[in-house]
Amino acid sequence: MSLADKAKDATQKLAGKAEEAVGKHTDDAELTAQGHKDQGMGEARMDTEKAKDAVDGK
């Protein structure tokens, strides 16, 4: 997993956390849901890359 991929995945997860927090603060259910979805996508991508690294022996 390249450093750029790690950064991109972490950024997506962090942005999702921020969206969710803003959504909760403003009582915006749609923004909260989008933030939760982005966090899940970022985490899933990170898990996929970790699995690839394990197979490659990195």
Residue 58's pLDDT is what? Answer: 66
Residue 56's pLDDT is what? Answer: 83
Report which secondary-structure segment, H or E, holds 13.
helix 3-25
How far is it, in rounded angstroms, from Cα 31 to Cα 35? 6
Token pair 């899933």 in the structure block, residue? 44
Give tens-digit pLDDT for 7-27.
898 999 999 999 999 999 999
